[in-house]
Structure 1
Amino acid sequence: MKLLKSIFAITTSFIMLLSTAQSVSYSAPNKNEIAKPSAVNAEMNKIHPALRAVMKDSSQDIVSVIVAKSPNNSAVDTAKLLGATVKAEWEFINAFAIDIKASMLDELATLSDVYMITEEGHVMSTKEKDEGTTDDKVASPFDGSIIENAFNASVKADKVWEKGYTGQGVTIAVLDTGIYEGPNSDFNKRLIKSVNVNPNASNGADKYGHGTHVAGIIAGDGKNSGGKYMGIAPDANLISVKFADDNGMSSEMDLLNALQWVYENKDEYNIRVVNISSTLATKQRYQESMVSAAVELLWASGVVVVVAAGNSGYEECSTCHAPANDPFVITVGAVDDNGTKSTDDDYEKPWSSSGETMAGISKPEIMAPGAKIVSYMPEGELKKMAKGNVENNADYFRMGGTSMAAPMVTGVVALMLEANPNLTPNQIKYILMHSARDYVSINKEYLQSLSREELDALDIDNIDPQYLEVAMSIPGIVSADKAVDWALKEEVIPSANMDYQINPILTHSDDSVLHNNVTWANVTWANVTWANVTWANVTWANVTWANVTWANVTWANVTWANVTWANVTWANVTWANSFDY
């Protein structure tokens, strides 16, 4: 049960290796550190070290892997000849997923059209356990004074509504367990599309509840509560991309299917924001992840990607899970608003993942309320797991985790884009980070002296003031009113991500990237700003992976010897069923 408990907190993780199943030691390297190629043969370099360990122990077992390839289909055809079952293909990142006997991987790796082979991961939710105005704008009809949730006031969304911005005209894709589609819902006609990309799900309906809860935080209008429980952007449009099955289970393949659907349909539905309240289970660098490559494509094409940081704050390298570890997303950590509309008593939750990634990137970039959040959930398996969390109005449910914090920021992004539709993802990220407000931080040494049970039950009102201090640096708590005011200013807005390397999966051997006839061969990536590029017509069909080998990654500080794969039974992994955060 300990293993299962550490895996699925619906709040912010996608596909994270169970914390008790993997022990990884690391030291944060330079953010763009690339080691010189080793003398290992080229075929071995193509296979991820963790997968190599599986091959050594269980060569006759069938393994699920994802293969990066050249744009042609020769690698897929050869895999079939080697007895593989092809489960999915993703043209947008030139990759495919297969089930294949482990002993066949070395032969597959000899193909020149195969560039990288990784084990398919599983997705972990980040729900925590147990628990500026223009002349033609008028104040919105939403009344912040009757709202019972504290988070709307905590992030100052009610102040933005007074200026007339409610997310109208902005479309958000929620990649999750689905969104409730019943009549007279808190979304009604603003849920403009529901799709299901998980072959194991019966349909696109949310039978689990997590996705609906997330969507309610983003854009619920509170109709079924008389306006008491309302989302951040109550006029925004929603698209549900269900990638988890009816029991909340999903894999890396399912997430990639969801990301591909968004990439292929973003223009038709004017998708400007994507919310991902989950992470991969495996700890890795973002430069090694197919999911990270996929979210970077969305970011580069003008779609803001908001991701939960995860609920592994008690672990080493808690921010080392894709896509939360990628610099080209907005990663969100969780604070507790203490159940009050005052902003003076908000404090960081110790279970919220934070720290440096394996690539040396500080995460998260922004914080938002993520504890004891009430949101719309008229039905779903989660309600059966924690009946005590059902509110007096049975259509609403209390839950916590970074899964709940991420949609807060997603809603704020929608408010910003309504105010200024010309903002780029990098500009939005910069504004959010530099307009955030301070919060109360708890002394780290004091936290380390507490047991896990004491940490989970921590209440700022019962902490000796000597252990409390004001967190003055990034990340701060998202401030919707300041962010929207900044978005409305008639001035050049700086861009975030000026000094980060794009995923090498997307680059050529000469450090160039092809974007519809735009070649970046002479660019120094440390100085690249995506904000200066128009990506509307980007075509990724010609992107190659030829220069990406595991020999170019610094693995010296990663200890794989402690990974025990035989004891991990993914079929038994379930979402966390405690809801007291």
Structure 2
Amino acid sequence: MPLQFSWSDKLSSQLRQATTGKTPDSVVRCIAEVVSSKTDRLLGWVEAAGGRLHHRMNLMPALVIDLPYASLEEFAHFSQVSRVWQDLPVQAMLDVTIPAIGAASTRQLGFSGAGIVVAVLDTGIFPHEDLTTPYNRILAWNDLLNGRRSPYDDNGHGTHVAGIIAGNGSSFAGKYCGVAPEARLVGIKVLDEYGNGWTSDVISGIEWCIQNQRTLNIKVLNLSLGGIPQADSRWDPLSRATTGAWQRGIVVCAANGNGGLKQGTVYSPALNRRIIRVGNIDDQQTLVLENNSSLQANSIATVLAQEKLPDLVAPGSEITSLKVDGGYTELSGSSMATPLVAGAAALILQKWPQLKPDQVKMLMIKRSRDLGLGRALQGFGALDLEKIFGRPRTREPKTAQPLEQMAGEFLFKTLLGLLSQRSSSTNDSSPKGNEFLKTILSIFNNLQ
């Protein structure tokens, strides 16, 4: 049974604040949670009030609508409306890698993400050669913004992320290879050409993944994006959507944001303690904060609330990956660290397909590498695939034996055989037989 609120309590704090100073006819984009799917009467009222429906969401369930500020109070009085959130903007989290997390050793052990499907909710995926050669590993595509049927990326962020997860380096002799180069990808475009989008579109993308989870065998979901949270993770809409995916068996990896310790700069859905929240370290193993500054272990000045901490950190600075229209480029941010963890999840699920999301997360945490930065900065530590999978075994090369040693061993075995035959025979006591044995012993002694 949904919780009951007074009309003012139904509005999120951001939505209540947003009404200040607004003209009555100004329109706000909202996510309205409803208690049932029968909304014809409610939508009729929205249209009469000068609003409009963008789309429905079944995961919550909710309506994404435009509504004049002046109509919010009356709209919130409807008993069918349980909560109303402002549909806030989300953005891509932009601001040496593969060896740094031990991914090369996993390939030597035979793990490449084969058979695992990773969904990437982002600006899209360009069909780069490293994703389509020798066969196309972009398994499915859904453009929630423009409805285009073929994969594309009008920004480049999503393609870069996809390459970190599953690029195979085929266009550059394998040099720029992703963490899980044989994993397959599902691209969901939820961000525009500027790397911006709406909370409701990201939720719809997550909902689409859940609906197609069995058909496409989606195991991992990468969210290198975020927006300002409107409540704690129990109520925040985007956080709740990621919990829904997690509970259905999808490992969700989200960027913790690039704001560092600055108050209020940890974004949703990384607010959600249930999922895997990823922070960014550079190749010197220092924590990257706002404006690319670094914080060493001895300069900790602020302790964050528990749900604002990352779970893991991974390299995210100056990461080389795929570029739209071919080639490679460098980008930085927790956006780049997150797909490293998503790719690692694909490798883990390839080896241990029976693991649940909670078990995958716990395995990463327990075998992470302590950087000495403290829980408030590094989470539980840095992603370390070598500690998860172990180092590849190396066989000791066989040393060639000298010819003399081989001949000596052969003659020694021959002598033992002759002595055995002689001792078991009562008739072989002639002087001729004794002379033969003496000759064999003489040759053997000269070889020692």
TM range (shorter): 0.7 to 0.9
Inter-partner Cα distance in structure 1 for 2:63 and 2:200: 9
CA contact (8 A) 1:170 1:418 kept: yes
Q: CA deviation at 1:307?
A: 0.4
Residue of structure 2 in register with 1:433 after alignment: 365
How far apart, in 2, do the equivalents of 1:212 and 1:89 lie?
Answer: 28
Matches within 5 A, 1:403-422: 403-422=335-354
State the distance in 2 between where 1:103 and 1:184 align: 52
Instruction: Give the superposition deviation at 1:83.
Output: 3.0
Residue number in structure 2 paired with 1:166: 112
- Matched residues in 1 for 2:375 and 2:260: separation? 19
In structure 2, give the amino acid aligned to 1:72: S
Aligned to 1:447: none
The offset of 1:115, in angstroms, is 0.5
Which structure has the higher relative contact order (CA within 8 Å, separation 6+)? Answer: 1
- Paired letter, 1:350: L
The aligned counterpart of 2:394 is none
Q: Which residue in the other structure is 1:45 paired with?
A: 9
Q: Which residue of 2 aligns with 1:62?
A: 27
Q: 2:328 corresponds to which residue?
A: 396
Equivalent position SS for 1:361:
helix
1:163 is displaced (CA, Å) by 1.3
**Partner SS for 1:431:** helix
1:400-479 to structure 2, matched below 5 A, reads: 400-439=332-371, 441=373, 474-479=379-384
1:282 Cα deviation from its structure 2 partner: 4.4
Matches within 5 A, 1:499-578: none
> Counterpart in 2 of 1:572?
none
Is structure 2 residue 208 aligned with structure 1 residue 261?
yes
Q: How far is 1:181 from its partner?
A: 1.6
Q: CA deviation at 1:124?
A: 1.6
- What TM-score do you get using the length of structure 1 for normalisation? 0.61
Any gaps of 5 or more consecutive residues in structure 1?
A: 1-36, 129-149, 339-345, 380-393, 442-468, 487-581
1:178 maps onto 2:124 in alignment: yes
CA–CA distance in 2 between the matches of 1:186 and 1:476?
34
What TM-score do the two structures reach when normalised by structure 2? 0.78
Percent identity for Structure 1 against Structure 2: 28
Distance 1:299 1:124 in 2: 22
State whether structure 2 residue 311 is matched by structure 1 residue 371. Answer: no
Structure 2: stretches of 5+ with no match in the other structure: 392-448
Q: Distance in 2 between matches of 1:336 and 1:292?
A: 27
1:470–1:174 distance in 2 versus 1, CA, 3 Å: closer
**1:173-212 equivalent positions in 2, closer than 5 A:** 173-182=119-128, 185=131, 188-199=135-146, 204-212=151-159
Once the two structures are TM-superposed, the CA of residue 471 in structure 1 deviates from its matched residue by 9.8
- Shift in alpha-carbon separation, 1:41–1:288, aligned structure 2, 3 A: closer
- Residue 111 (structure 1) aligned with residue 78 (structure 2): yes
Q: Give me the CA root mean square deviation.
A: 2.7
2:29 partner amino acid: S
Counterpart check, 1:78 vs 2:25: no
Query: 3-state DSSP class of the match of 1:89?
Result: strand
Distance 1:41 1:227 in 2: 57
Q: Which has the higher helix share?
A: 2
Residue 482 of structure 1 aligns to which amino acid in structure 2? Answer: K
- What's the secondary structure of 1:189's corresponding residue? coil
CA–CA distance in 1 between the matches of 2:207 and 2:13? 27
Counterpart of 1:333? 279
Higher Cα radius of gyration: 2
SS in 2 for 1:364: coil
> Counterpart of 1:127?
94
CA contact (8 A) 2:261 2:289 kept: yes
Shift of 1:479: 1.0
**Does residue 312 in structure 1 map to residue 312 in structure 2?**
no
Paired position in structure 1 for 2:288: 349
Distance 1:234 1:432, change over 3 A: same
Query: Alpha carbons of 1:178 and 1:470: their partners in 2 closer, same or farther (altered >3 Å)?
Result: closer
- Deviation of 1:325 after TM superposition, in Å, equals 0.4
- Secondary structure (helix, strand or coil) at the match of 2:234 reads helix
